[in-house]
Amino acid sequence: MLTLALNVAAPILTYNALRDHGWSEVAALLAGGAWPVLDSVVHLVWRRRLDEFALVTLAFLVITAVVTLLGAHSARALLVKDSAVTGLFGLLCLATLLAPRPLMFYFGRKFATDGTAASTAWWNGLWQFEGFRKTLATMTTVWGVAYCLEAALRVGLAYTLNTDTVVTLSPFLIYGVLGGLVLWTSAYGKRAGRRGEERAAAAAAARG
């Protein structure tokens, strides 16, 4: 709930309130953009340790800050900045398909284990199974393509709609895509898990 408040409601309310008080579009966008940064900082402080997930969050905080400083010359540039960040995440997902482990391997380990040595070793051990590797590669591909397309769509909206409309639509598009990906990932992961169990049972029966 806090994440939704800081990433969806707060930026929209801040932008509209400041515009009503005579702030420029650029200044209002910069002020509203501070809320998602605050949300990321809160999560980093709450975890109190840097794992792969926290490092990705920290990296995108830095990317966001750099892109904002370099591109904060107009309201449109600031709107495109948000698309650049999610687009870079999509490209990162796709790039890790060439690495020893795709990005969703680390995200899955973050959310599917309790962080103990035993559960981490269990998750790492699953990498030996072809079905597990294929599942994570597919998830990483879908997330990467989805965020590249989402970024391209939001860039298009920034150049075709007025700033007020894009400020309202953008958070809902961001979290709509995220929600859809989370639901798909959960359903796909469960189906893949059932298929893996069926294959293991069939192999055990064949050996017996």
**With contact defined as beta carbons under 8 Å apart, do 167 and 9 qualify?**
no
- Encoded tokens for 7: 């990433």
Structure confidence at residue 132 (pLDDT): 92
Cα dihedral sign, 36-176-103-145: negative
Among 56, 55, 61, residue whose Cα is nearest residue 33: 61
> Tens digits of per-residue pLDDT, 95-146?
999 999 998 998 888 778 887 889 889 999 999 988 899 999 999 999 999 9
Judged by DSSP in three states, 85 sits in helix
Span of 30-39, 75-84, 143-152, 170-179 with lowest mean pLDDT: 30-39
Domain residue ranges in the chain: 2-207
